[in-house]
Amino acid sequence: MSGSESSSESSSNSGSGGIPFLKSPDQAAFRDHLETRLSHWIRRWDGQEQLIAGIIGIPLSKSSISLSGASMTPAAVRAAFKSFTTYSLEYGVDLQHMAVRDLGDIQMHVTDIGECHSRIETCLTKLYEKQPSIVPIVIGGDHSISRPSVKAFSARYPGKKVGIIHFDAHHDVRNFEDGGVTNGTPFRGILESGAALGNNIAQIGIRGFMNSKPYHDYVLSKGVHVFTSRDVRISGMDAILAQAIAAVGDGTDAIYVSFDVDVIDQAYAPGCPAIGTGGLNPWDALDALYLLGALPQVRGIDFVCIDPTVDVRNVTSRLAVQFMLSFLAGIASRPD
């Protein structure tokens, strides 16, 4: 039997309902049997398997100060899974055998933002009980989801301290009096709740003409380590990240990474509500996320504030997938 006959026979064997070449809708995309796409690899979680990492969507954007379709991000990110393979020649890794699954979305209340935040904390707290070693990859949602996410993360390590590395154009410590709990307040909430101490938080990529001095003074008064976008451009990401890790890792037992995609320059991340120039470039961020993934103390991450409804050719959602993959490649490089 020739090779071509053999391959046509295998196609006919795999046809839906025994009909040759017919594929079920969930397998309708082109498939090359010599490559694995994320959409083939990241299957839904069965509720039992102990995972290295799990994707959890939080479709909340009613708490965004500016109009945001961030609630659409988990779906947009999943849709982009078909565009990427599991193999990176740059990092020398194929992720396809790593136990990473899609846990689905946390159901949001339609009108009650406080209830939404409470559900996030409850759901993640229970998840950590059931999956003690999981690294959650939380896909927001706007940045307000990070306060309940960090609170659950902090409670995961009772009696211990957690550190946070926060990539953002903004300090995110607005007062609660003017607008309540929003995507502008997560780090005010984290600091005031004691979920993490200021001295255990580093903010990377904060930039000018997007913040106010009282908020800059506030984070400094709490001991937060602030590295601007300009600092990264002048000193290089490796040097800044090393300083941030040294500061945040000192005396802490676990590190959470919160990544607001608006930290990236608007040219590379047009699908964010708060776009602006002077931001980080994506390749620095990709490497930073690889290095953070490789660090065993890093036990959770979120990606927030993408609005797929204003994105251009899904550039920003796809960037988030690449960020997630770099981070997972880092995890794959950890010693067992």
Q: Can you give the binding site for Mn ion, defined by CB under 5 A?
A: 168-170, 260, 262
Q: Distance (Å, rounded) from C-alpha 176 to C-alpha 189?
A: 9
User: To the nearest whole angstrom, how small is the minimum distance from the Cβ of residue 24 to Mn ion?
Assistant: 41
CB distance 225 to 269 below 8 Å? no
**Distance in angstroms between the alpha carbons of the first and the last residue of the chain:** 45
Q: Rounded to whole angstroms, how far apart are CA atoms 192 and 300?
A: 21
Q: Specify the residue, 152 or 272, whose C-beta has the smaller distance to Mn ion.
A: 272
**3-state class (DSSP) for residue 64:** coil
Q: Which is nearer to Mn ion, 136 or 279 (CB)?
A: 279
Q: Are strands 100-105 and 93-94 parallel, antiparallel or unpaired?
A: unpaired
Q: How far is the CB of 185 from Mn ion (least distance, A)?
A: 12
- Least distance to Mn ion from the beta carbon of 314, Å? 20
Least distance between Mn ion and beta carbon 169 (Å): 5
Is 272 or 292 the residue whose CB approaches Mn ion more closely? 272
The three-state secondary structure class of 33 is coil
How far apart are CB 244 and Mn ion at their closest, in Å?
17
Question: 42 vs 272, which CB is nearer to Mn ion?
Answer: 272
Q: Which is nearer to Mn ion, 269 or 286 (CB)?
A: 269
> Residue 143 in 3-state DSSP?
helix
Per the rule left: phi > 0, alpha: psi between -120 and 50, beta: everything else, 330 is alpha
Per the omega criterion (within 30 degrees of 0), is the bond before 279 cis?
no
Closest approach of Mn ion to the CB of residue 18, in Å: 53
Nearer to Mn ion, 205 or 300 (CB): 205
Q: CB under 8 Å to 110, separation ≥6 — which residues? A: none
Helix or strand holding residue 41 (H, E)? helix 38-41
Q: How far is residue 64 CA from its own chain's centroid?
A: 17
